[in-house]
Amino acid sequence: MLGDRATFVDATGRATALLGDAIGANLFLLGCAFQQGLIPLSLEAIDRAIELNGAAVTMNRRAFAWGRLQAHDPAQIEALLEDDTALSPETADDVVADRRMRLVAYQNENYAARFLRTIDKVRVAEVAARR
């Protein structure tokens, strides 16, 4: 019976906290299930599938790895999530660069350029507001 092997985890919340995006929840759960021996595929096969998919490969690999850690050592994940600074991006520029990359992957370079122009306007307004 599966009931005694059930694991409950807020995958959406964890993915958002660990990766900055709830979209990683599915791969996070896959990692949890894989670590528990519930996925009849090799680690190499899953990694290759992520690579062949071509969408957000780095983030999906990280989500899968975080899910494996969740299944193996949930206390370590809890400790990371309790430390507000452990997962914080280093700078606003890092966040902007990450979002630009995601927008290019999501749609195209023009879409990301629109985003960057908006960010530039916000930065100019912020400087003006400080004067």
22 and 69 inside one domain: yes
25 and 64 inside one domain: yes
Whether residue 115 is predicted with pLDDT greater than 60 in this model: the reply is: yes
| Model confidence band, residue 95 (pLDDT cutoffs 50, 70, 90) | confident
- The pLDDT score that the predictor gives to residue 1 is 41
- Report the number of distinct structural domains present in the chain: 2
C-alpha to C-alpha distance for 120 and 44, rounded to whole angstroms: 42
101 and 47 inside one domain: no
Residue range 109-124: mean pLDDT, rounded? 92
52 and 99 inside one domain: no
Whether residue 4 is predicted with pLDDT greater than 80 in this model: the reply is: no
Determine, yes or no, domain membership for 34: yes
Determine, yes or no, domain membership for 87: no
Which residues, at least 6 apart from 72, have a Cβ–Cβ distance to it below 8 Å?
A: 35
- DSSP class of residue 20 equals S
Q: How far is CA 30 from CA 14, 58, 63, 67, in A?
A: 13, 15, 9, 7
- The pLDDT score that the predictor gives to residue 105 is 80
Q: What are the DSSP calls for 24-40, one per residue?
A: GHHHHHHHHHHHTT-S-
- Higher-pLDDT residue of 102 and 34 is 34
96 and 40 inside one domain: no
Instruction: For the chain, give the mean pLDDT.
Output: 87
Long-range contacts of 87-90, Cβ-Cβ distance < 8 Å, separation of 24 or more? 87/17, 87/18, 89/20
- Higher-pLDDT residue of 119 and 104 is 119
Containing domain of residue 116, as a range?
Answer: 92-130
Q: Which amino acid is at 97?
A: A
Residue range 67-91: mean pLDDT, rounded? 80
